[in-house]
Chain A
Amino acid sequence: MGRARHMDELLAEFIAETQETLEALAGEVVAWEADPSDRERLDAVFRFFHTVKGSCGFLNLPRFEKLSHAAEDVLSHVRAGEAVPDSATISAVLSVMDRIAELCSAVEAGAPLPQENDDLLIQALHHCYAMACAASEVVTEESAKEIEISPVADPRRPSATARTIRLPLTLIDQLMNGVSDMVLARNELARRLRERESDPELEMVFERLSGCIADMRDSISKTRVQRVERLFMAVPRMVRDLSRDLGKIVDLTVEGGDVEMDREMVEMVVDPLTHIVRNSIDHGIETPEQRRAAGKPEAGQLRLSARQSGSQIVIEVSDDGRGINVNAVVNKVVSSGAMTQQDVAQLTEQERLELIFSAGLSTAQEVTSVSGRGVGMDVVRANIERIGGAISLANAPGRGLTITMRVPLTLTIIPGLILNAGGQSFAIPRSAVVEILHENNPMVEIATLGMARVAAIRGLRYSMIDLEEVVGLPVPEQTGPRSIMVVRSSSGLPYALAVSSVENHEELVIRPAAPMVMAAGVYAGMTLPDNGQPMLLLDAGGIANVAELPLETNRRGDQWGQPVADAPTTELHSGLQFVELTGEDRIILLSLVERVEDIEIAHFGQTAGQAHVMIEGRLIPSVRPVQTSDIGNDSGLVTCLRLRDGQRELCYPIRSIVDIFEIPVTLDMSAPYDHVAGLTLIEGRQVEVVDGYSLFADLPDTLETGAAPKKCIIADGQDNWNRNVLAPLLIRAGYEVVLGIEGDAGIGDAVVLSTNADIEPRDATCPIVRLRAASKPATPSDDSIYRYDREALFEAIHAAHSERKTA
């Protein structure tokens, strides 16, 4: 019995070890495929099969042995330089690894082993290898020579990994609890010591004990930490397999694998990350043909990065694919009945984009085997938010998508602040607090309007609320000033939370709170700080929700339209950095950009000082005229930003797009001139920020298409010049044109244009713009306008309209 038990333990260890190595190797094999001459990777894969073969002979696992033996055999030939493996061989090696993984999970679960025929796999492997040999006969001779020089794998090569042992997680949790108990006992002891007469010797011993306990707590905390690499390990293999299935070429870049985060957190992020990467390859990155057609390199770029930012880990997945088609998302939401057209019309561009997070939404044209499994971005977001994280999108239609996940470093130990409100103590994650000020600080100005309070801090205005009011405690009288915390919620904007005082900060061990406590919506968990008094951890976002603070971002168009002092937030906005036709680097608010399009230069024109461009049969004003020499290449295409302020459209011709950055609403330097609002710093460089407001404000009135178009009546509707020259001109300029006059009644507030004094309205008060064919007036009193004097014509029409309005 003792022996059987020993075997079980060995088997469990073998399975766990094999699974771990498999996980680590998935990335290595893909890298090896990319560069078959990479000796180190080849060795790593070889060692894996070698180890499996060795251990399983001992454990009596014949199928493992057979599979690993076959793979080892082929790889040893490769190592001897007899052939360069082709991708078919590597695929075959990968499928052997997959089979071993399947067998492992079956053994682990105690399930019957899967019944597939291993011989087929092994045959396929040998076959592929034979093909590779034949193909690389020429290469063989050369590489054989190389092998003579470089010694075959050095068996004494020191193992790169440190020695490790396996521990059950529960044991680590027990240790953690034990340390917490120790801290509490230490605190109790400290209290008792203070009550006695001071004894320096005793205190010194106590200090030493305290130090040891603190160190121990740190070390135990570290056992919970893991490198993000583990999270990324499975990605290269997934990218490889997916891109193959979908016939796409994807270049994967992984950065920041050495960032560390809580093990539990890693587990929580695996699924969302997998989903996002899958989406990116399936929906984001186009096929090589589509990419060629769009003028992009055939290989799509997929970048995966992790970095630590304060107490958060930022994980970013960006691709240069087609981005999200916001209209398709909107249509889908409307057709699913979740929202009406009217609801959607109320949304800002960013909000529309975020509809992608609506439940059960998939923009894929059809359900593919890869994604569209009914698990949508809604689940991804819910998973991330459940662990106190946030997810955001930066979409550049046609150019790519960046998804940023921010998750706390750890679920269980966070730096926290302890505060007092209404005579109670609460904790709040330090990461949620932007700054803390006393209410009597000269930088703080509190204004009350109705019942709403607004705190203006250094020119930024925040919604302000007392914590006591949210949780239903009395606000106690106090001698000193109250404290105002500027608090950031995970999804909304910062707001000001007033409390009695902020006491101290410490590392807090967070535990989940009971469901009836969580149901209050304002708590994120509970904690037992060093003073031994249990308290609740506040959830900044939840407080804002419960208090119903208006925290949604401003409506589009407002963002730059009002003085900065009115901006209620320090929220960052996505900005699109681009290169002007004139060469300057500038940035524009991404929410203004409807899309990016390449337009033939022939479609650009200029009339009456206003540049315009013909898009889809309509004339749209352009920010500036374009010459062939401006665009810097001979493609004849101009890259254009299509801007929209809700009603009016504008085309912004540029040279090229640089990237998307987060920029603050408050500019680093406000220096308005021309269409530039000021400067902001991006990665240490000054970039001019385009003033979206002035762009639209400077549009000529006549091009206003949002309001009901102004009406012009051409009195003589039969005249050829009127019909063929004047009417099209007016229509292009945005007027509604009526040909022919039918009594005074139909005029309403329209302006009448007359070329023939015989056909004119009888009502003398009705403004009439008279046109003449001759360039010079016939008599000095003649107030008519030469019909080819476009500027005078539009000015007269405009003046007549204003006259109507004031009349």
Chain B
Amino acid sequence: MSGLYLFATVAGTAIAIDTVEIEAVVKVKELSYVPAVPPHVAGLTALRSRVLTVLDAAALINGAVDDVGREYAIVCNIAGHSYGVLVDEVKDIVAKDSEPNTVRGRPDPVWSKYARGVLLHDNAPHFLISLGNLIENSMTAQAA
């Protein structure tokens, strides 16, 4: 599995996402708050004539909203809906030829359901996660 990966930080953890899933990375300026939804739904924002549902990945993983101001969102289209997934920081987009390694050690249980492998970038390990999987989980997280 070689390809182009986006390296970023979510909730202080280094992650990598296959760019196949990614449409763009945007700076979120204005967010319309959405009441009566789980806390990880940060709000709505307009991207030209589209409306993105903005999800706070850190809140989804930690189960609580923190006060870190995040402004970069990864835009993706999952199951016909457009989302913006807020991340702490976007570091780089790099092509990787190597296969991702399997997850070693004992990651925090909140990560174990998202991490599909480990990619090395800048000599540091990054969890490989899938946005589709993350967003799917955000729906079950709400039911709980």
- Shortest CB-to-CB span from B41 to chain A, Å, is 6
Central interface residue in B30, B33, B38, B49, by most chain A CB within 10 Å:
B49
Quick one: which of A498-525 are within 8 Å of B by CB? 511-517, 519-520, 522
Contact B36–A515 (Cβ < 8 Å): no
Cβ contact of B34, chosen from A177, A181, A517, A532, cutoff 8 A: A517
CB of A528 within 8 Å of the partner chain: yes
Instruction: Establish whether residues A522 and B36, one from each chain, have CB atoms under 8 Å apart when the complex forms.
Output: yes
List, in ascending order, chain B residues with CB within 8 A of A534's CB.
Answer: 32, 44-46, 51
A354–B143 Cα distance when bound, in Å, is 31
Q: Check A516–B41 contact: CB distance below 8 A.
A: yes
A519 contacts B142, C-beta separation under 8 Å = yes
**A465 located at the interface, meaning its Cβ lies under 8 Å from any Cβ of chain B in the complex:** no
Q: Can you name the residue of chain A whose Cβ is closest to the Cβ of B81?
A: A514
Q: How far is the CA of A520 from the CA of B79 in the complex (A)?
A: 19
Distance between Cα atoms of A533 and B47 in the complex (Å) = 10
Tell me the complex Cα distance, A394–B76, Å.
48
Q: How far is the CB of A718 from chain B (nearest CB, A)?
A: 76
- Cβ-defined partner of B46 (8 Å) among A177, A516, A533: A533
Interface string of B62-96 (1 = CB under 8 A from A): 00000000000000000111010000000000000
Binding stretch for chain B, among A467-475, A597-605, A776-784: A467-475
Give Cα distance in the complex from A325 to B142, angstroms: 43
Determine the distance from Cα of A90 to Cα of B138 in the docked complex, in whole angstroms: 59
User: Is B104 on the interface with A (CB-CB < 8 A)?
Assistant: no
Which of B37, B50, B80, B142 has the most chain A CB atoms closer than 10 A to its own CB?
B37
Knowing A184-B49, A515-B139, say if A533 contacts B32 (CB, 8 Å).
yes
> In the complex, what residues of A have CB within 8 A of residue B81's CB?
512-515
> Is the CB of A606 closer than 8 A to any CB of chain B?
no
Contact (Cβ within 8 A) B49 A528:
yes
- How many B residues have CB within 8 A of the partner chain? 26
B36 to A: closest C-beta gap in Å:
4
Does A422 lie at the interface of the complex (its beta carbon under 8 Å from any beta carbon of B)? yes
Picked from A178, A516, A522, the residue with its CB within 8 Å of the CB of B38 is A516
**B48 is an interface residue with CB less than 8 A from chain A:** yes
Report the separation of the CA atoms of residues A281 and B44 in the bound assembly, to the nearest whole angstrom. 49
Residues in B neighbouring A515, C-beta threshold 8 A: 79, 81, 139
User: If A177-B49, A526-B51, A534-B51 touch, does A516 touch B142 (CB 8 Å cutoff)?
Assistant: yes
Q: Does residue B12 face the partner (Cβ distance < 8 Å to A)?
A: no
Say whether B138 contacts A516, CB under 8 Å: yes
The answer to whether A528 touches B139, judged by C-beta atoms less than 8 angstroms apart, is no
Which residue of chain A has its CB nearest to the CB of B44? Answer: A534
Of the residues B30, B37, B49, B80, contact of A516 by C-beta under 8 Å: B37
Residues of B within 8 A of A422 (CB): 35
**Is A425 an interface residue when CB atoms closer than 8 A count as contact?**
yes
Do A513 and B36 touch (CB < 8 A)? no
Query: Which of A178, A473, A517, A546 has the most chain B CB atoms inside 10 A of its CB?
Result: A517
Cα distance, A39 to B34, chains bound together (Å) = 62
Complex Cα–Cα for A649 and B138 (A): 57
The residue in A181, A532, A534 that gathers the most chain B C-beta atoms within 10 A of its C-beta is A534
Q: Is A545 part of the contact surface with B, judged by Cβ < 8 Å? A: no
In whole angstroms, how far apart are the Cα atoms of A532 and B53 in the complex? 15
Specify which chain B residues have a CB less than 8 angstroms from the CB of A528 in the assembled complex.
Answer: 46, 49-51
- Give the interface size bracket for A toward B: 20 to 34
Residues of A within 8 A of B35 (CB): 422, 424, 471-473
Q: How far is the CA of A519 from the CA of B53 in the complex (A)?
A: 14
A524-567 interface bits toward B, Cβ cutoff 8 Å, 1 = contact, 0 = none: 00111000111110000000001000000000000000000000
Asked if B48 and A181 make an inter-chain contact with CB atoms under 8 angstroms apart, the answer reads yes
What's the Cα separation between A512 and B82 when bound, in Å? Answer: 10
Q: Is A180 an interface residue (CB 8 A)?
A: yes
With A515-B139, A517-B41, A535-B44 as known contacts, state yes or no: A425 contacts B51, CB within 8 Å: no
Complex Cα distance, B30 from A181, in Å, reads 17
Interface 1/0 per residue, B8-51 and A, CB below 8 Å: 00000000000000000000001011111110010011101111
Query: For residue A184, which residues in chain B have a CB less than 8 angstroms away from its CB?
Result: 46, 48-49
Bound CA span A405–B33, Å: 35
Interface string of A164-188 (1 = CB under 8 A from B): 0000000000000110110010000
Which residue of A has the minimal Cβ distance to B33?
A424
Q: In the assembly, what is the distance between CA of A181 and CA of B50, in Å?
A: 9
A527 CA to B46 CA, complexed, in Å: 10
Write the A417-431 contact mask toward B (1 if CB under 8 angstroms, else 0): 000001011000000
| Chain B residues positioned under 8 Å from A472 (CB to CB) | 35-36
Q: Establish whether residues B36 and A471, one from each chain, have CB atoms under 8 Å apart when the complex forms.
A: yes
Contact in complex: B49, A470 (CB < 8 Å) = no
Taken together as a complex, chains A and B put the C-alpha atoms of A471 and B79 apart, in Å, by: 26
Contact B37 A520 (CB under 8 A): yes
B48 near A519: Cβ-Cβ < 8 Å: no
Task: Output the residue of B32, B33, B51, B142 with the most chain A CB within 10 A.
Answer: B51
Taking CB atoms, residues of chain A closer than 8 Å to B44 are 526, 534-536
B37: A residues at CB distance < 8 A: 516-517, 519-520
Instruction: Judge whether A470 and B36 touch: CB under 8 Å.
Output: yes
A533–B35 Cα gap in the complex (Å)? Answer: 16
- B contact residues around A181 at 8 Å (CB): 48-49
**Residue contact B32 to A424, C-beta cutoff 8 Å:** yes
Q: Are A516 and B139 interface neighbours, CB within 8 A?
A: yes
Contact B53 A513 (CB under 8 A): yes
The closest CB in chain A to the CB of B48 belongs to: A181
Residues of chain B with a CB closer than 8 A to A520's CB: 36-37
Task: Point out the residues of chain A lying under 8 angstroms from B33, CB to CB.
Answer: 424
Q: How far is the CA of A526 from the CA of B81 in the complex (A)?
A: 11
| Given known A-B contacts A512-B80, A512-B81, A516-B53, A536 and B34 have beta carbons under 8 A apart | yes
- In the complex, which residues of chain A have a beta carbon less than 8 angstroms from the beta carbon of B36? 470-472, 520, 522, 546
CB distance from B38 to the nearest CB of A (A): 6
CB atoms of B49 and A180 under 8 A apart: yes
Chain B residues with CB under 8 A of A473: 35
A512 CA / B81 CA spacing, docked (Å):
8
CA distance A171 to B43 in the complex (A): 29
Which residues of the partner chain B approach A425 to less than 8 Å between Cβ atoms? 32
B32 close to A535 (CB less than 8 A): yes
Contacts of A532 in B (CB 8 A): 46
Name the residue on A nearest B83 (C-beta): A514
B140 CB to nearest A CB, Å:
10
B83 contact set on A, CB distance < 8 A: 514
Given A184-B49, A515-B79, A522-B36: 7 more A-B contacts, CB < 8 Å:
A177-B49, A177-B50, A422-B35, A511-B51, A512-B80, A519-B37, A519-B142
What are 23 A-B residue pairs whose CB atoms fall within 8 Å in the complex? A177-B49, A184-B48, A424-B35, A425-B32, A472-B35, A513-B53, A516-B41, A516-B55, A516-B142, A517-B41, A517-B53, A519-B142, A522-B36, A526-B44, A526-B51, A528-B46, A528-B49, A528-B51, A533-B30, A533-B32, A533-B46, A536-B34, A536-B44
- The 7 A-B residue pairs with the shortest CB-CB distance, nearest first, are A180-B49, A471-B35, A514-B53, A534-B44, A471-B36, A520-B36, A181-B49
Interface, chain A (partner B; CB < 8 A)? 177-178, 180-181, 184, 422, 424-425, 470-473, 511-517, 519-520, 522, 526-528, 532-536, 546
